[in-house]
Amino acid sequence: MPNQFRYPISELQKVTKKVDELGIPGIIIFGMPNRKDEFGSEAYSDKGIVQKAIRKIKDGSDLLVISDVCLCQYTSHGHCGLVQEGIINNDETLKFLSKIALSHAESGADIVAPSDMMDGRVNAIRSKLDENSFEDILIMSYAAKFLSSFYGPFRDAAHSAPVFGDRKTYQIEPGNALEALREVEFDINEGADILMVKPALSYLDIIFRVKEKYGLPTAAYNVSGEYSMIKAASKLGWIDEKKAMKELLLSIKRAGADFIISYFALEYASL
């Protein structure tokens, strides 16, 4: 992905300083561990890359930090949940996700953002945080996350593609808007503070419906494939990159998103 980088801890503060100076209200972080295993244990280690990164960013800055909570970058099989005999074990996974969320909160994250799509994770994470006196840490739930081809560039960059099978037993089928709304409703009932729709562009109707129907803080994730398409077409001289970027972000806003997570953030804010 052009202009996107994986940063070592030592470079982090340079980037977050720029983010802060440009008036971007917050960042979301993803980890690239040195070691993967069956249980994704680097994801909840106190010495894990995300835990270290959060502490580093928060050292001397009050930039809002959102941490992505999932297993796929940390598991040897690349799935977002635990795999047992070739099947994703939803309920076992919840224990791990809540451990990850707690370790992020202990490191100083302001918002935890579960992106795994297991059923019941918002409830499991909320309970775990509350039991440990983190009542004020928010949950931004990837509530309507679709099974999408637009995640390709991210999976390449984060080495998080599943080694076998796909994510269709946990992510939402792209044709099913009603299932997306049901997923959102589960998350609201379980205590989600912010609802996210992902991807953004092919799912503007879902953003609109979620905002209209529930009126809660709604986020949209402008994903890697959406970013890369603009970059590629402009490299070929087929579209005006800046105009296309602005129009795209505007459309997400118009659809009803209160927050936009985007790889364009630095470029957009610089303009």
Which are the catalytic amino acids?
A: 145, 198
**Per rule CB under 5 A, is residue 196 in the interface with Zn ion?**
no
Contact 216, 257 (CB under 8 A): no
Edge to edge, the sheet with strand 218-222 lists 26-29, 64-69, 111-114, 138-145, 194-198, 218-222, 259-262
**Per rule CB under 6 A, is residue 1 in the interface with ligand PBG?**
no
Contact 65, 57 (CB under 8 A): yes
Which one of 124-132, 152-160, 176-184, 245-253 is the stretch in contact with ligand PBG (CB under 6 A)? 152-160
- We find the least distance from the C-beta atom of residue 188 to ligand PBG, in angstroms, to be 21
E-assigned strand segments in 93-252? 111-114, 138-145, 194-198, 218-222
**Per rule CB under 6 A, is residue 93 in the interface with ligand PBG?**
no
| Residue 235 to residue 217: CA distance in whole angstroms | 35
Among 65, 72, 206, 249, binds Zn ion (CB under 5 A): 72
**Per rule CB under 5 A, is residue 249 in the interface with Zn ion?**
no
**Per rule CB under 6 A, is residue 27 in the interface with ligand PBG?**
no
Supply the angle between the helices 121-131 and 90-107 in degrees, to the nearest 10. 40
Which one of 105-113, 153-161, 183-191, 252-260 is the stretch in contact with ligand PBG (CB under 6 A)? 153-161
Contact 183, 143 (CB under 8 A): yes
- We find the least distance from the C-beta atom of residue 186 to ligand PBG, in angstroms, to be 18
**Per rule CB under 6 A, is residue 115 in the interface with ligand PBG?**
yes
- We find the least distance from the C-beta atom of residue 9 to ligand PBG, in angstroms, to be 20
* SS3 state of residue 143: strand
**Per rule CB under 6 A, is residue 151 in the interface with ligand PBG?**
yes
Structure tokens that stand for 61 in this block: 């800055």
| Residue 104 to residue 44: CA distance in whole angstroms | 8
**Per rule CB under 6 A, is residue 167 in the interface with ligand PBG?**
yes
* SS3 state of residue 228: helix
| Residue 96 to residue 102: CA distance in whole angstroms | 10
- Residues 187-246 binding ligand PBG (CB under 6 A) are 223-224
**Per rule CB under 5 A, is residue 204 in the interface with Zn ion?**
no
**Per rule CB under 5 A, is residue 43 in the interface with Zn ion?**
no
**Helix H or strand E encompassing 87:** strand 87-89
Residues lying near Zn ion in the complex (CB under 5 A): 70, 72, 80
Q: Which residues bind ligand PBG (CB under 6 A)?
A: 70, 72, 80, 115, 151, 154-155, 160, 167, 223-224
